[in-house]
Structure 1
């Protein structure tokens, strides 16, 4: 009896010491102190004054940046795309899965409790081994009933679980930034495709005008040949010009159809059920994005791809702490208890059983396993630092490229307009000289070709200028910022005691999981409900 009391006293002392020890070590974080990388920028940020130390002016780049094109049809397309695009919805689900992985990891901080119950009724066989029929009963029945509960808990002495949890939450934040990047990419792709489509419409109008002119030229050459004042060679040349222009128009129509199909897929619509009515001109004039002071620092907060790289870098720092924790003992507390009886007398305390245990495991020799894992963690962290710097440099390049293109394309557009005016004057004069018999048709033919190419080039430059504005907006982050990232506490998709509404998590910072009947409707019949007149469900 005295020995039993002594053992219980030792157990209480050991348990108390372990509790104090765990509380004292609970804040032992083995991860290196993490700080985002700081960069030194060139004075004036290069660009020869083109960019300066700058950021987008207030109101220039907003989350609905495409509305600056003042095109109601584009507004409607963007709205529908954000609602039903399958790639964007898949990105939202990827974020949900990242949140769940973080929740799975965090669950290890809590005690893991299980319950069990069993009941059996067993009959022994007369033919069993070592059975003596003379002394055994003809039938042997045995029964057993029991129920029990168990709990295990791993005190996170070395912050291994906490660092793993923080690492997964950092990766979940990176997944949220990945969603923002996918959204921005889709928005820009749709806007660029729509602008290209309108550019093709404008080129088609040029072809229509030129074909009418070339058809009239054929008639003039035929009349001059009939009057014996023109050669059949002139007729052949005029017909060649006409048919070449008609072939160019047919090729243009094919390109337009392909572009329209690409837009349909972005809108979750089968291409056969989608059509955008053509227009005569590219009427969107975005202009040059204005720049104010301070862009280098703020650009790091505006681009989703930079946020992805930074969150991955933070997660890699946490992984170092996890690798360091592997060098220390792995301690687990466990308890189990219940009742067991051969009959049904389970309420008696004499039928109770229990077990309480503490386990500590420290690998003595692993052949360099843990050291290799730690070294790999440091190497992965350094590679994430290098990747972050690379992404930042690419972001600066994108902005510089966008600024250069928007300004130079605007200059080229003005210059090309002058070339078109000159080409049209030359076309008119040479045709008048030919009609009056003062020039040969070859001069008129060359002038017609030059006029057509100049007008097509003008539309191409205008389209490229507007598309470069889209690329610049995308380079500047499209109105997104790191303030739109969910916080660490927002990553958990549900609480530890929540058992309802588990199918989809609560939306966080606009990242919503949804399924609508419209998602599976690929016919396009309802497209026109979401956009203004000019877009139809079927051609």
Structure 2
């Protein structure tokens, strides 16, 4: 009767333990999320832009920048340079690798959701001294001992308070932020290269103006020398003409030096050593008149990668609150170990088996305010990320408004400066004719020449800035990027669960392109 009762109690105990274990597992799978419900900050902003004139308003698809927005300028050499930079720029490739590393960090954090299983096998042989301490002289005990064993161990921390899942979500959102940072770096590279190339072509156009003026000034020197030889003019006129000629030649040399430096900058952007790189000069600016649509202000939040990065940081801060809250609850860990041990090789014998299992719950009772300080810090960090997000949005709106203003005003300024050039050239021609006819002195000619040269150079500079302002506006509008280009959280994992080969380069996700080669060592390849 006593034995039957013992067996019955044993079955009840086992049934209770089984149900308790199932309840714990179910609780782990449906754990309580302690992170606040997340929703991006809703900002109120104008329904339209203030910029007028050259720009058009419309839906985001109506003339909005494309991913290859630089092609709208109609310059094949710029197209080739942009393609080369996107393939080989070292800073951009480094940003892509930073995204890859963030994906791996997310995979490492997610691994803690699963049991950690390990296996161990080993053997030892020991020999002790016959004359060791406390061993009698007549002792017959063994002085040799061997031990062979193998066993497996498993530990698992059920995620009751979703601390691990919130850390995993934070890591995935951090990877998305890195993807947005990559898009920021790529857009910055595209815009910087376009800006530099336009500036270089502006130097070409200025150089053409200087060379044309130098030809004119050389003719003026010849005229003054002829008049001096005929005793019609004084030597002062020759000196003034030569001064104008040589100062203009010096100004042209300065422009050429600035062009060389700009060319070197472009070479570095496309991964070519400056000594192996050259762009043939042109005579004038020949870019198409590009007028992209500004779209609606509400669409800007979806088209700016820096705004997306700031929003992802805010999402991480929200998850961090859940992690710090979970620290107030017990951490429960299950562990188990089983295997065989023998002093020979009879390891498979059931009598040589061993096992161990247990559970552990840890709840810090007093830490001097450590957990409360961490919780307060995460709330503060969330508010800071909100402020940073709002600041990023405000900066984006300012950049668009600046772009609209610059494109519009510089277009108007260019037309006005063109009228000034026409008037200055007429004055220069008439003044030289009057001087040749002896009706004015050469000082008036010099003043007219300087005014004409200044007006022509200013026109080229305004035209260059106007084209660059289109690039800046395109960059401010996101350069054709969209938040839909961010990888989904389900795509962050860089390898399949059972993948053990092909780990050197993960599969590309989103719009982040990693290079299959560790580096591009050829610094002489031209686009």
Tell me whether the two structures share a fold, i.e. TM-score over 0.5: yes
Find the counterpart in structure 2 of residue 371 from structure 1. Answer: 372
1:118–1:517 Cα change, 3 Å: closer
CA distance in 1, matches of 2:308, 2:244: 55
1:447-462 matches, within 5 Å, as: 447-462=448-463
CA distance in 1, matches of 2:57, 2:443: 55
Find the counterpart in structure 1 of residue 192 from structure 2. Answer: 189
Q: Secondary structure at the match of 2:520?
A: helix
Find the counterpart in structure 2 of residue 214 from structure 1. Answer: 217
Find the counterpart in structure 1 of residue 69 from structure 2. Answer: 65
1:502–1:463 Cα change, 3 Å: same
1:14-33 matches, within 5 Å, as: 14-24=17-27, 26-33=30-37
For residues 203-241 of structure 1, the C-alpha deviation after alignment (integer angstroms, 9 at most, x for no partner) is 000010000111111111111111111111111111111
1:516 CA drift (Å): 3.9
CA distance in 1, matches of 2:341, 2:176: 49
Find the counterpart in structure 1 of residue 167 from structure 2. Answer: 164
CA distance in 1, matches of 2:219, 2:271: 45
Find the counterpart in structure 1 of residue 91 from structure 2. Answer: 87
1:158–1:439 Cα change, 3 Å: same
1:226–1:51 Cα change, 3 Å: closer
1:344 CA drift (Å): 1.2
Find the counterpart in structure 1 of residue 234 from structure 2. Answer: 231
Q: Assess if the C-alpha contact under 8 Å between 2:55 and 2:293 holds in 1.
A: no
Q: Assess if the C-alpha contact under 8 Å between 1:92 and 1:511 holds in 2.
A: yes
Of 126, 131, 156, 2:130 maps to: 126
Q: Assess if the C-alpha contact under 8 Å between 2:46 and 2:297 holds in 1.
A: no
Q: Assess if the C-alpha contact under 8 Å between 2:55 and 2:292 holds in 1.
A: no
Find the counterpart in structure 2 of residue 485 from structure 1. Answer: 486
Matched, 1:152 2:155: yes
Q: Assess if the C-alpha contact under 8 Å between 1:45 and 1:52 holds in 2.
A: no
Find the counterpart in structure 2 of residue 407 from structure 1. Answer: 408
CA distance in 1, matches of 2:201, 2:56: 33
| Deviation larger for 174-183 or 125-134 | 125-134
1:321 CA drift (Å): 0.5
CA distance in 2, matches of 1:51, 1:460: 21
| Deviation larger for 124-133 or 489-498 | 124-133
Matched, 1:273 2:276: yes
Q: Assess if the C-alpha contact under 8 Å between 1:155 and 1:331 holds in 2.
A: yes
* TM-score using structure 2 length: 0.95
Of 25, 41, 44, 1:40 maps to: 44
Find the counterpart in structure 2 of residue 536 from structure 1. Answer: none
Q: Assess if the C-alpha contact under 8 Å between 2:206 and 2:460 holds in 1.
A: yes
Find the counterpart in structure 1 of residue 102 from structure 2. Answer: 98
Find the counterpart in structure 1 of residue 139 from structure 2. Answer: 135
Give 5+ residue unaligned stretches, structure 2.
none
1:290–1:347 Cα change, 3 Å: closer
CA distance in 1, matches of 2:367, 2:6: 40
Q: Secondary structure at the match of 2:335?
A: strand
Q: What is the Cα-based RMSD across aligned positions, in Å?
A: 2.0
CA distance in 1, matches of 2:395, 2:420: 36
1:407-426 matches, within 5 Å, as: 407-426=408-427
Of 240, 243, 262, 1:240 maps to: 243
1:53–1:377 Cα change, 3 Å: farther
1:136 CA drift (Å): 4.3
1:85 CA drift (Å): 0.6
CA distance in 1, matches of 2:7, 2:266: 80
CA distance in 2, matches of 1:80, 1:100: 28
Find the counterpart in structure 2 of residue 502 from structure 1. Answer: 503
For residues 426-451 of structure 1, the C-alpha deviation after alignment (integer angstroms, 9 at most, x for no partner) is 00011111111110000000000011
Q: Secondary structure at the match of 1:447?
A: helix
Q: Secondary structure at the match of 2:44?
A: coil
CA distance in 2, matches of 1:30, 1:360: 19
Q: Secondary structure at the match of 1:519?
A: coil
* TM-score using structure 1 length: 0.93
1:517 CA drift (Å): 8.5
Q: Assess if the C-alpha contact under 8 Å between 2:52 and 2:408 holds in 1.
A: no
For residues 247-288 of structure 1, the C-alpha deviation after alignment (integer angstroms, 9 at most, x for no partner) is 011111110000000000001111111000000011003333
CA distance in 1, matches of 2:374, 2:446: 75
Find the counterpart in structure 2 of residue 535 from structure 1. Answer: none
1:50 CA drift (Å): 8.6
Give 5+ residue unaligned stretches, structure 1.
531-539
Q: Secondary structure at the match of 2:478?
A: coil
1:4 CA drift (Å): 9.3
For residues 9-55 of structure 1, the C-alpha deviation after alignment (integer angstroms, 9 at most, x for no partner) is 54652353143134135331111001111122235454579979755
Q: Assess if the C-alpha contact under 8 Å between 1:286 and 1:469 holds in 2.
A: no
For residues 417-475 of structure 1, the C-alpha deviation after alignment (integer angstroms, 9 at most, x for no partner) is 00000000000011111111110000000000011110000000000000000001000
Q: Secondary structure at the match of 1:275?
A: coil
Q: Secondary structure at the match of 2:37?
A: coil
